[in-house]
Amino acid sequence: MTHRILLVDDEPNVLAALERALIDEPWEIFTAQSGEAGLEALAERSFTVIVSDERMPGMGGAEFLSRARALYPDTLRILLTGQASLESTMKAVNGGEIYRFFLKPWDEMTVVLALRSAVEKSELEEENRRLLRTVKRQSSELKALEKSFPGISDLRKDDSGAYVLEEISDDEAAELIAKYGLP
């Protein structure tokens, strides 16, 4: 899976500096110079992580990240700011559920490591969602089997602790094979 990072800042030199810092990373980097342009980019493709400046004309970073969270909750969000007032920080963190927060000027390696961590977190969360879907599907299949064949999921042990497998008739086996596409 290719990870995409969206960088949003109204200052082209900040975007260029971030792009340079990420040049050796295996991600696709996209930029937007406003919150509005960032929302347009999000509508066009999915992103793993968004890095946004707080202070931008028009839509500020807190509002942009809050809207991004509402529309794309699985995308992780990082905020950069040159002026960290407690009020704006709390608004951004609470409204946008910010993954990380950095003050300008930032340490390049710290931001790169934070993005690597965010990408890894995203991968783990996606794997958890995939595993949950699998467990739900398997649970549903097990319930259907149990409904068709009451007691089929009961496990019994003999006196030595070994599991006892009840034999099923050839007709029951053929029905299972046909119903569940077993080999």
> What tokens were used for 76?
């992780």
User: Is 168 a residue whose pLDDT tops 80?
Assistant: no
Q: Is the pLDDT of residue 121 over 90?
A: yes
> Are 78 and 52 contacting, i.e. CB atoms less than 8 angstroms apart?
yes
Note whether 66 and 75 are within 8 A (CB).
no
pLDDT at 129 over 70: yes
pTM assigned to the model = 0.77
Where are the extended beta strands (E) located within the chain?
4-8, 28-32, 49-53, 76-81, 100-103, 156-157, 163-164
A 10 A CB-CB count for 6 gives 24
pLDDT on residue 96? 64
pLDDT at 111 over 80: yes
pLDDT attached to residue 95: 67
CATH fold for the domain made of 4-129: Rossmann fold (3.40.50)
pLDDT of residue 86: 66
Which pLDDT band, with edges at 50, 70 and 90, does 175 fall under? confident
Phi, psi of 76 (to 5 degrees): -80, 150
